[in-house]
Chain A
Amino acid sequence: EAGVAQSPRYKIIEKRQSVAFWCNPISGHATLYWYQQILGQGPKLLIQFQNNGVVDDSQLPKDRFSAERLKGVDSTLKIQPAKLEDSAVYLCASIQGVNNEQFFGPGTRLTVL
């Protein structure tokens, strides 16, 4: 089965610019997660979708971050405007059932200059 796809793999922008990341989860996986992983730390949940509805976005900086999952499949995460501290790897993951394996994409490494 195909894995979780993410693009782009790398992105370099200047502060105050905007950026968008794309994720295509494994087919049939209703639950999709976006995580932010800063170097040396574990992933931090930004937002969790169940189909096209938001389950948890309590740690999403809503003044600058937004995410959507139209039609309950692909998802996009946007940052506008970016800050230096947004430099991190953004991981997308999906899962089929609560005790099933969670599959991660390769991540997008964002550098904000």
Chain B
Amino acid sequence: KNQVEQSPQSLIILEGKNCTLQCNYTVSPFSNLRWYKQDTGRGPVSLTIMTFSENTKSNGRYTATLDADTKQSSLHITASQLSDSASYICVVSAGYKLSFGAGTTVTVRA
């Protein structure tokens, strides 16, 4: 069964600090791994997409890494801002079939 597990379930950080979110998956065959940001009351928005041959990708203060051998990914947020408060969802694709993690809720406090 294709599964995507994220940790931690939630975290609270102070504005300006860094944090790292984890994603482990068992999806096969593997096409790509995506990280989404979902603000409260909105649909998810894509942050990064990584294929098998990519092991890191950045989007501003967001940096995603992928280890396809261990089937692990991380999302690092640098110098957090209040607007980073959201749910971050890891999604692994097997072709057009996408498996979603439950998400990590990040709260940034001033």
Contact = CB atoms under 8 A, between A and B. Distances in A.
Interface of A: 4, 31, 33, 35, 40-45, 48, 50, 55-56, 91, 93, 95, 98-107, 109
A95 B96 contact: yes
Interface residues of B, number: 23
B97 A43 contact: no
A98 B32 contact: yes
Contact of B43 (A45, A56, A101, A105): A105
B27 interface: no
Contacts of A40: 102
A40 B96 CA distance: 24
B42 A102 contact: no
A60 B103 CA distance: 22
A48 B94 CA distance: 14
A103 B97 CA distance: 15
A98 B93 contact: yes
Given A42-B89, A48-B96, A56-B97, A101 B46 contact: yes
B100 A42 contact: yes
Given A50-B96, A98-B93, A99-B51, A104 B32 contact: no
Given A41-B103, A55-B96, A98-B96, 18 more contacts: A42-B4, A42-B100, A42-B102, A43-B44, A43-B89, A43-B100, A44-B100, A56-B97, A98-B32, A98-B93, A98-B95, A99-B31, A100-B49, A101-B46, A102-B91, A104-B44, A107-B41, A107-B43
A8 to B, nearest CB: 14
B12 interface: no
A106 B42 contact: yes
Contacts of B98: 33, 45, 102
A75 to B, nearest CB: 15
A73 B60 CA distance: 34
A42 B36 CA distance: 11
